[in-house]
Amino acid sequence: MTMQAAHDVLSTRQMRAVLAVLERCEELGDGPDFKEGLAEAIARYFDVRDVTFFHGRTYSTIFDDPAPVLTGATESLLSAYHERWRDKDVFTLPQARRALTENGFATLDELSRLPVPQHSYVVDYLHPNDMDTASAMHLQLADGEALIGMFDKVRTWEASDVVAVRMLARQLRARTVSVSVADASVDELAALTPRQREVAALVSEGLSNAEIAERLFLSELSIKKYISRIFEATGHRNRSELATAVLRHDRRASA
């Protein structure tokens, strides 16, 4: 939906909320400030009691975020979530993932026929903690993916509300593809061996596997194995992400 078409569906209040969040994000830099600022803006302008921001290298690792942004009722629940509920989160379901990655926003009410574990998550975890309504926004980032969770005791998402948040998600996605939210002080390459760092550096120079193999006097198969292990150790999904991480590491080292 275009901005003009949205004007025909959304109220003045909803349009102002979308624009206010976008304007706030333009003021934010990378890193934790972006996470906290976006969560705060959504809570304020869309009148949501509790907003969370979980980040991961891939969609499936979002739910393992050890240090998400948490607000309100969610702040004291992280340990219980990690210990018992993260693999039962309703937004881990394939139908939720499809809706989120395609549309940018999904509500609990849109998910039908919850399996037993996810039903238990809603009844035994969300409801007792005054989170009777739940929804999430999905964003693609320069360093992974994120889910912004929205929880409240009572919150009815009208059809126009859903349109507003989905429009916000589309607009945010155009911005967040260049945003990194991981703590810049964390060395993403710390877990690599010296040889793996050497291979990663050559990847960042744009060399192919064959060229790296020739440079290091190794077989191309060995280089493929090295790169696979590097991806596994760092969580990066492709050569471009790895190259960005190497350049970021080098900038910190020379600062």
123/171 same-domain check: yes
- Whether the pLDDT of residue 3 is over 60: the answer is no
Backbone dihedral angles phi then psi of residue 52, each to the nearest 5 degrees: -120, 160
Q: Nearest to residue 84, comparing CAs of 138, 32, 128?
A: 128
132/219 same-domain check: no
Which amino acid is it at 15? M
- Is 93 inside a domain boundary? yes
Condensed to tens digits (0 to 9), the pLDDT of residues 74-130 reads 888 899 999 999 999 999 999 999 999 999 999 999 998 899 999 999 999 999 999
Total domains present in the chain: 2
Boundaries of domain holding 140? 3-176
Q: Which of 176, 209, 235 is the last residue of a domain?
A: 176
pLDDT value at residue 255 = 60
- 50 close to 150: Cβ distance less than 8 angstroms: yes
90/43 same-domain check: yes
Which amino acid is it at 61? T
CA torsion through residues 214, 244, 140, 234, sign: positive
Task: Give the distance between the most distant pair of CA atoms in the chain.
Answer: 65
**Other CB atoms closer than 10 Å to residue 24's CB: what's the count?**
16
104/228 same-domain check: no
- Whether the pLDDT of residue 8 is over 90: the answer is no
Label residue 9 by pLDDT band (50, 70, 90). Answer: confident
If phi > 0 it is left, if psi is from -120 to 50 it is alpha, else beta; for residue 210 that is alpha
